[in-house]
Amino acid sequence: MTELNGVLAKADQTLDAALERLFALVRIPSISTDPAYKEACRKAGQWLVDDLSGLGFTARLHDTPGHPMVVAHHDGARPDAPHVLFYGHYDVQPVDPLALWESDPFEPSIKELSPGRTVITGRGTSDDKGQLMTFVEACRAYKAVAGSLPCRVTILFEGEEESGSPSLKPFLDAHAEELKADYALVCDTGMWDRETPAISAGLRGLVGEEVTIIAADRDLHSGMFGGAAANPVHILAKILAGLHDETGRVTLPGFYDGVEETPSQIKASWESLGKTAESFLGEIGLSIPSGEKGRSVLELTWARPTAEVNGITGGYTGEGFKTVIAAKASAKISFRLVGKQDPDAIRSAFRDYVRSQLPADCSVEFHEHGGSPAIQLPYDSPVLTTAKTALSDEWPKPAVVIGMGGSIPIVGDFQSLLGMESLLVGFGLSDDRIHSPNEKYELQSFAKGIRSWIRILAALGAAKP
């Protein structure tokens, strides 16, 4: 305990220097999606390599067909110390529209939003430079006090997360042995609120499908052919409406195979967070929950599978009016998966269902838009329990275990390619304006994020791999 207290005190004493290092990284405009910033991305990667090397890591920049990867290694304090892989990304989103920024997006500053609430401004402060630097600074404080790290640490920082990570999976394939660890730590997530840290135990998987119903060989005059010719918009609308029954459940055969009920104690902890349908939906101008009846909004968005229509096109959609029966109609549909649902089985079931609803003289085309399984860390996982205790020791309120409605492909890759569970801990807030003008990161998130990783590293280092 004496060593831990010393490391925590060191982090507090050196916070100003840690902020200067974060500012230096944020000043590098590492926008991965714009080729004009290719050299800036490389500069950000090299900055991290240099910083980690100065901490005693064996660090290097790995070239890829896109932006480079940063990989760094550090031994643990003892030979049998657990091995963790920490992942983050140094690239950022474009800043457009620039006119909406209150200050230069690449000139970070400290600003007081209200009494007692101070933030760090600038592109990447929350997503993800501020987040990844909380871990780096935790390692720095540990090295300064103890001379070593309590865990064996491998770091992977990529530079393409904001542009689809095209180089990441091939890189993981090629460097699997070098990167494999006991478990991964992923920081690209957030807290429940400003006083309550969170661990994301589940990520929904995803199946994307585009379907096109084809009827006549050309668009038709609705007066001449209406009532006699098949209308693909009608057919498509009926198919989409049939994806759910009156209780909100998805109707595809076998859709719920592999879906398990959330443990009652986890649902009870979610209910204690006080998020009602009215408060959740009221923020977007709605009040009545959709989806499966009898389930809370947090369960619906964190732990249940979905089928959503993301877009429909067909016929004339321009200004004015045109009396036409379209030859084709299309829709984009996404399925969010949970538990052990099989993406390939879901895709096959959807296509079989669509074909079964087609008139004999119509046809269908499908276009695949990716697929990945859900990720679920066991709620009784020792690493989750260890991290939850460590976080609860740092923040005003105990840590909560939550789910995430979205998908983070890297977590699936860590599981499928490297055989690792991932611990998702981050300190962002919902109002950090990531991807938007005036992005910010709470100063408290940065300072206590560093302290949180110090506590987690200490706790993991004391545990058996």
Tens of pLDDT along 232-289?
999 999 999 999 999 999 999 999 999 999 999 999 999 999 999 999 999 899 999 9
| Residue 353, domain member (yes or no) | yes
DSSP symbol at 284: T
Q: What's the pLDDT band for 1 if we cut at 50, 70, 90?
A: low
Domain boundary among 372, 397, 413: 372
User: Which residue range(s) make up the domain with 378?
Assistant: 2-203+374-461
- What's the structural domain count of the chain? 2
| 171 close to 69: Cβ distance less than 8 angstroms | yes
Residues 191-216 have a mean pLDDT of 94
| Residue 296, domain member (yes or no) | no
Encoding tokens for residue 231?
């209308």
Up-side HSE of residue 337: CA atoms within 13 Å toward CB?
26
For residue 190, what is the domain's CATH number?
3.40.630.10
Encoding tokens for residue 34?
């714009």
**What is the structure's pLDDT at 116?**
87
Q: How far apart are CA 348 and CA 216, in angstroms?
A: 26
| Residue 50, domain member (yes or no) | yes
Clarify whether residues 419 and 367 are in a common domain: no
- Cα of 379 vs its chain's centroid, Å: 19
Q: How far apart are CA 156 and CA 191, in angstroms?
A: 22
Residue 372 reports pLDDT greater than 90: no
Clarify whether residues 362 and 444 are in a common domain: no
**What is the structure's pLDDT at 258?**
96
Q: Is 72 helix (H, G, I), strand (E, B) or coil?
A: strand
403 against 355, higher pLDDT: 355
Pairing of strands 58-62, 220-221: unpaired
Mean pLDDT over each residue of the chain, to the nearest integer: 95
Amino acid at 315: G
Residues 339-349 have a mean pLDDT of 96
User: Cβ-count burial of 284 within 10 angstroms (0-12 exposed, 13-18 middle, 19+ buried)?
Assistant: exposed
- Write the pLDDT tens digit of every residue in 441-465: 999 999 999 999 999 999 999 976 5
Clarify whether residues 437 and 448 are in a common domain: yes
Clarify whether residues 360 and 400 are in a common domain: no
Residue 202 reports pLDDT greater than 90: no
| Residue 396, domain member (yes or no) | yes
Residues 92-97 have a mean pLDDT of 96
Least confident of 45-59, 116-130, 172-186, 370-384: 370-384
Backbone angles phi and psi of 402, in degrees to 5: -120, 175
| Residue 37, domain member (yes or no) | yes
Residues 203-218 have a mean pLDDT of 95
| 416 close to 108: Cβ distance less than 8 angstroms | no
End-to-end Cα distance, the chain: 21
Residue 215 reports pLDDT greater than 60: yes
Amino acid at 259: V
Clarify whether residues 394 and 342 are in a common domain: no
For residue 355, what is the domain's CATH number?
3.30.70.360
Clarify whether residues 233 and 195 are in a common domain: no
Greatest Cα-to-Cα distance within the chain, rounded to the nearest angstrom: 87
- Write the pLDDT tens digit of every residue in 401-454: 998 887 777 888 898 899 999 999 999 998 999 999 999 999 999 999 999 999
Q: How far apart are CA 251 and CA 75, in angstroms?
A: 52
Question: Whose CA is closest to 159, among 320, 18, 339, 39?
Answer: 39
**What is the structure's pLDDT at 463?**
79
β-partners of residue 62 are 69
Percent of the chain beyond pLDDT 70?
99
Pairing of strands 328-337, 205-214: antiparallel
**What is the structure's pLDDT at 406?**
78
- Cα of 232 vs its chain's centroid, Å: 36
Clarify whether residues 352 and 382 are in a common domain: no
Clarify whether residues 76 and 171 are in a common domain: yes
| Residue 286, domain member (yes or no) | no
| 232 close to 328: Cβ distance less than 8 angstroms | yes
**What is the structure's pLDDT at 464?**
62
Clarify whether residues 362 and 384 are in a common domain: no
Clarify whether residues 190 and 231 are in a common domain: no
In residues, how long is the chain?
465
| Residue 270, domain member (yes or no) | no
Clarify whether residues 10 and 66 are in a common domain: yes
